[in-house]
Amino acid sequence: MLIDASHRAKAAGLPFNRFITILWQLGGADASCNARLTGAFIKRIADWLRLNGYRLAWSWVQENSRKNGAHVHILLHMPAELDPLFRTKPLEWAKALLPGQYVAGVMQCQRIHGAGAQPGVSPLHEANLKRKLKYMLKGCDHATGASLGLPRRGEASIVIGKRLGVWQRRRTPPAVMWQDCL
């Protein structure tokens, strides 16, 4: 489903070009709130893009680790012309959603290497996006991981709520929906 969402985003002209990690639990949120906070974060991005005349393509995977607690990895598309304005937004939105004072390192947002300002997808971008997808899939079972050629697999963790959410492209009107996985 995650790989399919990436293919659909590219086919729609919205290739994933941003990778965001939010360590919700490290930021003071209860692990049971991870999926809800992620949904609220995605909604803020979608609303902001809609106000600027764009739609959002996205996917996320929720994880839980001893080191980082409940956290999420997000892939999304940010139009090149809005990228300079977007750079400060994820931190602003994460701070607004967290229950307490912001802790340094909770928000990590990066442009996927090779995703330049030019339309289209470069081979460098494709390779780096594939690396991000493989990283996000490390929690899949061994058989699935082996069939996909994943170097890391079987690192599943117990999460509360949804493990994965992806955008769904609808013809009219464009909308986003949640979908369960695994």
The residue type of 37 is L
Are 48 and 89 in contact by the 8 Å Cβ rule? The answer is yes
**What pLDDT, on the 0 to 100 scale, is given for residue 141?**
72
The predicted structure's pLDDT at residue 169:
67
State the DSSP string of 48-59. HHHHTT----EE
Rounded to whole angstroms, how far apart are CA atoms 178 and 141? 22
Q: What number of CA atoms fall less than 13 Å from residue 132's CA on the CB side?
A: 29
Q: Give, for all 182 residues of the chain, the pLDDT tens digit.
A: 888 899 999 999 999 999 999 999 999 999 999 999 999 999 999 999 999 999 999 999 998 888 889 999 999 999 999 999 999 999 999 999 999 889 999 999 999 988 875 556 788 999 899 889 888 888 777 777 777 776 665 566 767 767 778 887 654 333 333 333 22
Q: Residue 148, CB half-sphere, CA atoms under 13 Å: how many?
A: 23
DSSP-derived 3-state class of residue 130:
helix
Q: Which domains does the chain have, with CATH numbers?
A: 2-121+157-166 (3.30.70)
Picking from 175, 182, 164, 129, the residue whose alpha carbon sits closest to that of residue 38 is 164
Write down the pTM of the prediction. 0.86
